[in-house]
Amino acid sequence: MCVRISDLREDLNLLSSWEERFEYVIDLGKDLPAFPENRKTEEYRVRGCMSRVWVYPRWEETDNTRVFRLLVESDSAIVKGLAAVLVMRYDGVPEADLPEDSSDGLFSELGFAEHISPSRRNGLAALEGRIRSFIDG
């Protein structure tokens, strides 16, 4: 995924309607790397989401640095797009630089918090909770 959070902010500011913004986010989800079929199991499924969501977090050593890697999948296009924002925030980040706060502020800043349903917000919180529990594990 080559879009960064700073680029996402700029791109969203260029779009005039929420329909366009959600289409953009859905496209982000379509651009996520393929999720391994053998990881679509209960072990990787995120509880608390109305949609089916899987998360595959792992550590990778790169140049003697521990880097967090993250793949997500959902059967809902909008959820997958919103999950792509979490992938932007966490994937490929060295362990020492991983954010410690939740993404609530980011989703509010981007304007999504007020435009997604409480159940979707709860699902995103559950997804991020799984990500954080792996990182903090």
Structural domain that includes position 95: 5-136
Share of the chain above pLDDT 70, in %: 98
> In 40-66, which positions are buried (b, 16+ CB within 10 angstroms) versus exposed (e)?
eeeebebeebebebbbbbeeeeeeeee
C-alpha 20/C-alpha 15 separation (Å) is 6
Residue 67's beta-bridge partner residues? 60, 94
User: What mean pLDDT do residues 131-137 have?
Assistant: 94
Residues forming the active site: 49
Taking only the tens place, the pLDDT of each residue in 26-49 is 999 999 999 999 999 999 999 988
95 C-beta neighbours (distance < 10 Å), count: 11
C-alpha 2/C-alpha 121 separation (Å) is 25
**What is the model's pTM?**
0.92
Residue type, 104: D
Mean pLDDT of the chain, nearest integer? 92
**Distances in Å between the alpha carbon of 119 and those of 6, 18, 106, 110, 115?**
27, 19, 18, 18, 12
Q: Under 8 Å CB-to-CB from 25, ≥6 apart: which residues?
A: 78, 81, 82, 84, 85, 112
> Is 1 a residue whose pLDDT tops 80?
no
> Is 125 a residue whose pLDDT tops 80?
yes
The CATH number given to whatever domain includes residue 43 is 3.90.1010.10
**Distances in Å between the alpha carbon of 51 and those of 55, 63, 89, 96, 121?**
13, 37, 21, 32, 12
Identify the band that residue 2 occupies on the pLDDT scale cut at 50, 70 and 90: low
> Is 137 a residue whose pLDDT tops 90?
no
C-alpha 56/C-alpha 59 separation (Å) is 10
* Tally of domains within the chain: 1
